[in-house]
């Protein structure tokens, strides 16, 4: 593999409405001349424009045929730019600034790095690849779409969020890893069937609603847990995907409402008043 070439997309004017920029991905750029790339279709609030109208495109005359050799850097991005990296299979996208909804929707490989915050549906239905966010993320990270069956969400790959995340992280996910360095909102991992979600700080209400499988680790304060989880064991020291928590955890199995076999592991010391009763159940046996 050769040295990756870089295309830089500088936002000319800040759009006032949501922009569907799903053609901005290494797969679309591959084997295309820069003039063709500038003519790619972009929907700005329903009106058709082109990539060249919206961005100033700087890069080599012709993109290599292999998408893995393409880097795309978006400068001055705002939270209106949506669908970046749609179905990308390789390469790298770096977004300097915020980004909108559906970043990495159905992506199959490659890397997306966002030096800012993103809105809802980050890595929605992704099959593989890596997404890293240095700001916050909105709701439904690595989720399925509304109305689909459990297990139609994120399949493989990993999402790392260095800030906070909104509610329903990993809704219906079936594999892969989501790491939230700070706290997450309500309903973490609802109806998930596999995969791992690690929230290093607190989470909102009812993590693991209707979960069928997989593992949720919450290393901080939880606002409430569902009564449909069975307490399983007391873990003095937890290791998950190379991360180590040097504090005790209480492990639950559930959600019994749907006959699930998922693991929900919650930091014991942070939630002592909530979990004391459950711990006493484990000790009696």
Determine which residue in the list 12, 41, 149, 272 makes contact with another protein, applying CB under 8 A.
149
Contact call for residue 47 and another protein (CB under 8 A): no
User: Minimum Å distance from CB 141 to another protein?
Assistant: 19
Whether 268 contacts 246, CB under 8 Å: no
Residue 221, exposed/middle/buried by CB under 10 A (0-12, 13-18, 19+)?
middle
Give Cα 131 distance to the centre of its chain.
Answer: 7
Annotate each residue in 150-189 with x if it binds another protein (CB under 8 A) or - if it does not, as one string: ----------------------------------------
Residue 169, exposed/middle/buried by CB under 10 A (0-12, 13-18, 19+)?
buried
- Phi-psi sector, 27: left (phi>0), alpha (psi -120 to 50), beta: alpha
Question: Interacting stretch for another protein, rule CB under 8 A, among 143-151, 169-177, 200-208, 260-268?
Answer: 143-151
Determine which residue in the list 31, 132, 148, 201 makes contact with another protein, applying CB under 8 A.
148
Q: Which is nearer to another protein, 173 or 203 (CB)?
A: 173
Contact call for residue 146 and another protein (CB under 8 A): yes
Q: Which is nearer to another protein, 69 or 210 (CB)?
A: 210
Give the binding-site size for another protein (rule: CB under 8 A). 5
Q: Which residues does residue 20 pair with via DSSP β-bridges, in sequence order?
A: 43, 82
> What 3-state DSSP class applies to 234?
strand
Contact call for residue 147 and another protein (CB under 8 A): yes
Q: List interacting residues with another protein (CB under 8 A).
A: 145-149
């Amino acid at each position: 593999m050769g040295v990756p070439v870089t295309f830089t997309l500088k936002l000319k004017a800040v759009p006032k409405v949501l922009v569907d920029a799903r053609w901005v991905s290494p797969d679309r750029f591959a084997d295309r001349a820069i003039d063709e790339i500038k003519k790619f279709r972009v929907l700005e609030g329903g009106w058709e424009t082109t990539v060249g109208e919206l961005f100033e495109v700087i890069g080599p005359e012709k993109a290599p045929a292999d998408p893995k050799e393409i880097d795309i850097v978006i400068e001055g991005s705002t939270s209106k730019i949506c669908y970046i990296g749609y179905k990308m299979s390789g390469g790298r996208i770096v977004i300097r600034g915020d980004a909108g909804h559906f970043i990495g929707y159905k992506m199959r490989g490659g890397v997306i790095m966002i030096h800012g915050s993103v809105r809802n549906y980050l890595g929605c239905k992704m099959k593989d690849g890596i997404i890293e966010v240095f700001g916050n993320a909105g709701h439904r990270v690595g989720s399925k779409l509304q109305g689909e069956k459990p297990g139609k969400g994120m399949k493989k790959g990993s999402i790392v969020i260095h800030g906070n995340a909104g509610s329903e992280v990993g809704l219906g996910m079936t594999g892969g890893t989501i790491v939230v360095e700070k706290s997450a909102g309500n309903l973490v991992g609802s109806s998930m069937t596999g995969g791992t979600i690690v929230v290093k700080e607190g989470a909102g209400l009812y993590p693991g609603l209707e979960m069928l499988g997989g593992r949720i680790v919450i290393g901080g304060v939880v606002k409430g847990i569902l009564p449909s989880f069975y307490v399983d064991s007391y873990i003095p020291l937890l290791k998950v995907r190379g991360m180590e928590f040097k504090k005790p955890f209480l492990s639950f199995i559930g959600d019994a409402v749907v006959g699930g076999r998922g693991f929900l592991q919650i930091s014991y010391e942070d939630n002592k008043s909530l979990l004391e009763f459950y711990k006493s159940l484990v000790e009696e046996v």
